[in-house]
Amino acid sequence: MKQLTGFIVSGLIGGLVVLGGFQLIQKGEDSTVQSQWDQPLVQSVADRSEVVSYRMPVSFADAAEVATPAVVHIRASESRESAQERLKRQQQQDPFYRFFRFDDLFPGDLFRDESPRRNRNFRNPEFYQRRGSGSGVIVSSDGYVVTNNHVLQFADEITVTLNDNRVFNAELVGRDETTDLAVLKIEADDLPTLEFANSDKSRVGDWVLAVGNPFDYLTSTVTAGIVSAKGRNLNIIDSEGSIEAFIQTDAAVNPGNSGGALVDDRGRLLGINTAIATPTGLYAGYSFAIPVNLAAKIIDDIIEYGYYRRAYLGVTISEMDARLADEIGSNITTGVLVVEIQEESSASKAGLKANDIILAVDGNDIRTASDLQAIIGAARVGDHFMLSVSRDGKIKNIAVQLID
């Protein structure tokens, strides 16, 4: 009996010891867990950088809120009188037109429709009024708006709708076909504007937003992407002396976005959206914008003079590559080769020579013809530059003052 009692007492004591130990362990775990969750968020992720991306997501809401009010919707149309005058010129240029009139078969007045292909007149099936739409960016609080020339190049009736739905008739201040830019003026005050970024400082990989009015009805649309490339020359501006040094992005841009804003992640204006690379006419992965450093000079000139007062270096150039380098016996494969120099030009006065290879302007590397065109295109008459050139295998620095 005594032996049985001993076993029972020993068992009870052992059980109490195990239970007490378990409770102590559980209490320690609870305090550990509690202490972890009690810590501030910054401390809890201080040594776990992989958690930061989940707790601090990227948002462009602030940039979008800054940019959207300064982007407008533009509708452009050809007046009836202008359309009739255009048709008259067309008839005069086509000697066979008068043999194919429809007056006797289809008497009547205009049959109108929004589509140029269907906006026909049974009496005169060639008559239609051209219409278009696009976007624009307010560049001054007193009503100057920049857009693309191709949005309104045919128009003499233009309306601008602000982000707050106010509608204004717009006057064309001036346009420049070589850069596909135009400036409008509306009678309004205290309008929202955007700070200009330095597009020369933007880098491939930087975040950007495209703001505009795709398809004429998706107003105030914001899309995001990155800078995919810089200095793109697409040969899409059909004008002698055109300047193409586009910022390439993968932000979605569609018809109707033309003339809208490309902004950086702070909402600063980086460029004017102008074109897309597409086999279908719709967005297919890449879009292109005129850099704001170039656009700003042209905007200022149009407002002041009514046209783009362009400065010229006065050279004919060819872009360097491995083939051209081999032809001229050089080991330089980037930059631009001076092929010809105009008499009495900025280049001739500075002492540039044919077969010089321009490598840099004011310390900025020149890798393509577009790089040089963009810098000179954004300059003013009278500006001074220091060109670094390779001549006969040696590097020379040549000071140039631009003239018009």
Q: Which residues are catalytic?
A: 150, 180, 258
How buried is residue 396: exposed, middle or buried, by Cβ count under 10 Å (0-12/13-18/19+)? middle
DSSP H or E run through 28: helix 2-38
Q: Do residues 235 and 275 lie in contact, with contact meaning Cβ atoms separated by under 8 Å?
A: no
Distance CA 108, CA 5 (A): 122
Nearest to 70 by CA among 216, 293, 268: 268
Q: In what order do the strands lie in the sheet with 131-138?
A: 167-169, 157-161, 71-77, 131-138, 144-148, 181-185, 171-176
Joined together, the tokens standing for residue 373 give 């065109």
CA torsion, ordered 177, 179, 185, 188, to nearest 10 deg: 160
Query: Alpha-carbon distance 152 to 329, whole Å?
Result: 48
The partner residues of 132 in beta bridges, in order of sequence, read: 76
Q: Tell me the one-letter amino acid at 44.
A: S
Give the ranges where 94-156 is alpha helix by DSSP (H): 149-152
- Kindly report the backbone phi and psi dihedral angles of residue 279, in degrees, each rounded to the nearest multiple of 5, phi listed first: -90, -5
Strand partners, 384: 401
- Partnered with residue 276 across adjacent β-strands are 287
Residues 6+ apart with CB under 8 A from 78: 86, 129, 130, 131, 154, 155, 156, 157
DSSP state of 336: E
Q: Phi then psi for 322, rounded to 5 degrees?
A: -65, -40
Taking alpha carbons only, the member of 236, 277, 257 closest to residue 71 is: 257
